[in-house]
Structure 1
Amino acid sequence: MFYRIHQFWQAIHPIITEDELAWVISLLPAPSLALFQGQPLPEQRHALDVAQDLWSSGIRDSHLLIAALLHDCGKTRYPLQLWERVAIVLLQKAPRKIWHTLSRSSLPLAASLQAAEAHPLWGAEMASHLGLDPRIVELIREHHTPHSQEGYLLYQADNRH
């Protein structure tokens, strides 16, 4: 529970240091830096936390680290308000049937839930369009439904942040 409070605080007051930004720049191929920086600052902070989590656990695979930095870039296609992001986090703990019912309803939250479901595919499309390595594209696509060991590592790190 404490990590969710910390996550909420960082969403309100995100900070990325010059050293952290330099690390991001050292990892990302030039075209993908704009994709990272095109995310709202709270999403950049989250992506950086996920990548740093992997790094601190000994991961040095550049494809996985790049995917970590870009895994939520698809969210830029349908930006969410803070209250929507909070609702999505809370609903992720509910039975899947509730999520499914609400996402197919006429409630204002329905489009937000649909965007939350679609953002991995959108992000993969954006990364592919930039010509990023197909492995990076696939890791972004599978970050909520991992099909590989690397995808599972990304999924776990994402869930910790």
Structure 2
Amino acid sequence: MGKKSAEEMTEAAGRVVYHEDTKNRHTLNIKNLKKNDSAEYIFRLTTKGGGPKQSGFSVVLLIVTGLKVKFTPSAVVTEDQRVTLTCSTSCPLTDNTNYIWFFNSRPLTLTENQNKHLVLDPVSSQHAGNYSCAVNTQTDLRSPEETLAVEDGTGAAGTHSVIC
């Protein structure tokens, strides 16, 4: 990860806004984070008064990660088993984050709270297909699709899907 200069941040086409208030708080807001926004950000405050010049440095390391779908116990399961899909990221999100799940590129409409876990219990051949997830506020930033294969009792796997 490299260091971002003020010029590079200015070029971020309206995604970056700097705020300063009367209580000496300084905030840099970055909208629509992208992976290449990952960097070490340095804030330097310089005051010039009657005395010597004083400088303060504050360093923030920002790591932007993407979402990933994980299957438990695995991506290949047998009908009537329970499978849990988890939308995970290496950075923690708040417990009240809402997620959107996608099945074969179409959003799933869930009746319960949409959280980071999608439980299929019991799983059937209709659940076989491609899954991805997104945070509700960033539906255009989806995880890569991951495939769930469902075997029947004979051990034959299927990845066909039924559009609901």
TM-score (norm 1): 0.23
Q: Which has the higher contact order (CA 8 A, sep 6+)?
A: 1
More strand by share: 2
Looking at CA atoms only, which structure, 1 or 2, has the larger radius of gyration? 2
TM-score (norm 2): 0.23
